[in-house]
Amino acid sequence: MSNSSVRDVIMIGAGPSALAAAVYTTRENIDTVLYEKGVIGGMAAITDKVDNYPGFPEGIEGMKLASQLEAQAERFGAQIELGEVSEIKDNGDTKTVVVDGQPVEARAVLIATGSDYNKIGVPGEAEYYGRGVHYCATCDGAFYRDKRLVVIGGGNSAFQEAIFLTRFTSHIDLLVRSTVKASQVLQDEMKKHVDDGQITMHLNTQTTEIVATDGKVSSVRAVKDGQPVEFETDGVFVFVGLNPNTQFLKDSAIELDENRLIKTDLNLQTSMKGVFASGDVRSGATMQIASAVGEGASAALAIREYLDGLRQHVPERMLPTDE
């Protein structure tokens, strides 16, 4: 592949983080292409309403926010393509990204593929996502002030988020499928909320269905110790782990943490020089749209500096002359 066909930067994913990064790179006249295998806008696009993104005091529909980010990136010249990336190869000063089986070469790469929340896979979960079923307490907890909630999960995230939700709710039923897997520190903190009646913990409780009445979540059906039970609720929060979209990196040299999230340095560069990561796929990410957008901007600036460094080290014989 000749130098003329090498892109400046390939961005893998077209969620808020990559779209924000593309706004910054394209405004700097950095040739930018984004490849997205699913929905442009990522998880934001399938969120019913985003209520905590700065600048929208009344909230904004997730799809509308995603489409505005997309339009802004394209306005400055970002090229957005549908395609699935299966591999990244390190060639030194360039990287080869395999898209739908075809190699595409770039000087820098940004991985912003995000993460998906693990699902429990019961009837009603997908149907009422964003309309009574949630996966982010800091995003959606405030909707349930003085309401009853069901929280599903028994690990660290479920305990942390349930404790956080006590700031808003009147009562929480915590459904643990088998036994508690949270750390002892969180178990000790949880006990305080159980003792004061804010949270009721139900062990050996397998959720079987999320029920809605008149289009609103109204109860959760489960089996506890072999017996059917039903919990009245105004909403359900599911915390059974994250599934980072890093499957395509399993055979690469890019270092992942124990949760398969991408490790980066302070400049958001991965263990592969010239490859950066931002947003929910990055180890240490806060899983918020606003922070993903901020990381995208930071990654774009780091990519610009990296590309400037490459240009400064081009051998003299490769530089254009005045003749």
User: Are 25 and 78 in the same domain?
Assistant: yes
List the CATH number of the domain containing 314.
Answer: 3.50.50.60
323 assigned to some structural domain: no
Section 277-294 average pLDDT? 93
pLDDT greater than 90 at residue 116:
no
Section 126-131 average pLDDT? 91
Q: Are 160 and 186 in contact (CB under 8 A)?
A: yes
What range defines the domain where residue 107 resides?
A: 3-116+242-318
Question: What pLDDT is attached to residue 251?
Answer: 85
Of 209, 238, 267, which marks where a domain is finished?
Answer: 238
9-13, 95-99, 284-288: least confidently modelled range = 284-288
Token pair in block for residue 316:
């003299």
What DSSP line would sit under 242-262, residue for residue?
EEES-GGGTTSS--B-TTSPB
Helix (H) or strand (E) holding 36: strand 32-36
Longest dimension (CA), the chain: 86
Total domain count, the chain: 2
User: Are 274 and 306 in the same domain?
Assistant: yes
**213-232: pLDDT as tens digits:** 999 999 999 999 999 999 99
Section 209-213 average pLDDT? 97
User: Are 7 and 18 in the same domain?
Assistant: yes
User: Are 57 and 159 in the same domain?
Assistant: no
Bridge partners, 256 (sequence order): 262
153-162, 184-193, 284-293, 305-314: least confidently modelled range = 305-314
Distance CA 197, CA 268 (A): 43
Distance CA 106, CA 35 (A): 13
pTM: 0.75
Distances in whole angstroms, Cα of residue 47 to Cα of each of 50, 135, 197, 218: 7, 11, 32, 20
List of E strands, 38-119: 49-50, 60-61, 79-82, 85-90, 95-99, 102-111, 115-117
**236-278: pLDDT as tens digits:** 999 998 789 999 998 889 999 998 999 999 999 999 999 999 9
Quick one: angle between helices 289-312 and 16-27, nearest 10? Answer: 40
- R_g over Cα of the chain: 23
pLDDT over 90 for what percent of the chain? 79
Of 204, 220, 238, which marks where a domain is finished?
Answer: 238
User: Are 145 and 185 in the same domain?
Assistant: yes
User: Are 63 and 17 in the same domain?
Assistant: yes
User: Are 70 and 130 in the same domain?
Assistant: no
Out of 117-121, 134-138, 160-164, 297-301, the most confident range is 297-301
pLDDT band at residue 315 under the 50/70/90 scheme? low
User: Are 194 and 47 in the same domain?
Assistant: no
**131-185: pLDDT as tens digits:** 899 988 877 899 999 999 999 999 988 999 999 999 999 999 999 999 999 999 9
User: Are 111 and 247 in the same domain?
Assistant: yes
70 assigned to some structural domain: yes
pLDDT greater than 80 at residue 316:
no
**42-56: pLDDT as tens digits:** 888 877 778 888 999
Question: What pLDDT is attached to residue 318?
Answer: 45
Of 238, 265, 282, which marks where a domain is finished?
Answer: 238
